């Protein structure tokens, strides 16, 4: 995985490679998928969620640039893998399901880092409210049906995201924009 997927995709940050070597992916997939835990595509979880491909999670972690003592939030689709990768790299870690992220309101304005382990159409207000001003964001982003790794910040109370890396990422539908009809 390290040499054939991550390095060949330009993921070379030592902290990412160390964490991905230390945390066995097979411990975070259903028993029937343990033999393919390192394949270069997403793995369907028993709860209906997905464990994204190693390159997606490596790139998200690299773009997140955790800095030790900060409070981070991970939005986890059910595997727990990204949270385990990030846990020793930050001071405090809050793990939320997608549903908790879009509806919850506890812990407002404290996190300096948000990592979403999947692709979203937008960052909803209740989740943005949990972030401190200037907080960094690493997520998958869905635009016109195309998924990309995106980075961003919370500034002036809003969230701005910039796509940086095209790749297939499982979509977290809890973050879909409401469908409306317009001319």
The one-character DSSP state at 62 is H
Q: Quick one: pLDDT at residue 178?
A: 81
**Mind listing the pLDDT tens digit for each residue in 14-44?**
888 899 899 999 999 999 988 887 878 888 8
**59 by DSSP, 3-state: which?**
helix
- Angle subtended at Cα 167 by Cα 165 and Cα 171, rounded to the nearest 5 degrees: 115
Question: Per CATH, which fold does 2-175 belong to?
Answer: Rossmann fold (3.40.50)
Extract the tokens encoding 155: 């500034």
Q: Which residue has the tokens 């940086």?
A: 164
| Closest among 76, 4, 12, 11 to 38, alpha carbons compared | 4
**Residue 90 pLDDT greater than 90, yes or no:** yes
Residues of the chain with pLDDT > 70, as a percent, come to 92
2 within 8 A of 20, measured Cβ to Cβ: yes
Q: Quick one: pLDDT at residue 151?
A: 97
**Mind listing the pLDDT tens digit for each residue in 105-130?**
555 568 999 999 999 999 998 999 99
> How far, in Å, CA of 74 to CA of 83, rounded?
6
**Mind listing the pLDDT tens digit for each residue in 133-155?**
999 999 999 999 999 999 999 99
Q: Where exactly are the structural domains of the chain?
A: 2-175
Extract the tokens encoding 106: 């506890």
Q: Is the pTM of this model over 0.85?
A: yes
């Amino acid at each position: 995985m390290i040499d054939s997927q991550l390095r060949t995709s330009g993921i070379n940050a030592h902290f990412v490679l160390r964490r991905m070597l230390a945390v066995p992916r097979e411990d975070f997939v259903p028993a029937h998928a343990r033999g393919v835990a390192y394949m270069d595509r997403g793995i369907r979880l028993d709860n209906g969620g997905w464990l994204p491909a190693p390159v997606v999670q490596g790139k998200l972690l690299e773009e997140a640039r955790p800095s030790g003592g900060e409070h981070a939030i991970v939005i986890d689709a059910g595997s727990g893998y990204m949270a385990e990768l990030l846990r020793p790299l930050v001071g405090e870690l809050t793990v939320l399901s997608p549903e908790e992220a879009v509806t919850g309101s506890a812990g407002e304005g404290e996190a300096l880092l948000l990592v979403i382990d999947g692709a979203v159409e937008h960052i909803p207000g209740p989740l943005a409210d949990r972030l401190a001003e200037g907080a960094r964001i690493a997520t998958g982003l869905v635009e016109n049906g195309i998924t990309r790794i995106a980075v961003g910040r919370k500034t002036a109370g809003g969230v701005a995201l910039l796509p940086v890396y095209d790749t297939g990422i499982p979509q977290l539908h809890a973050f879909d924009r409401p469908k409306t009809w317009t001319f």
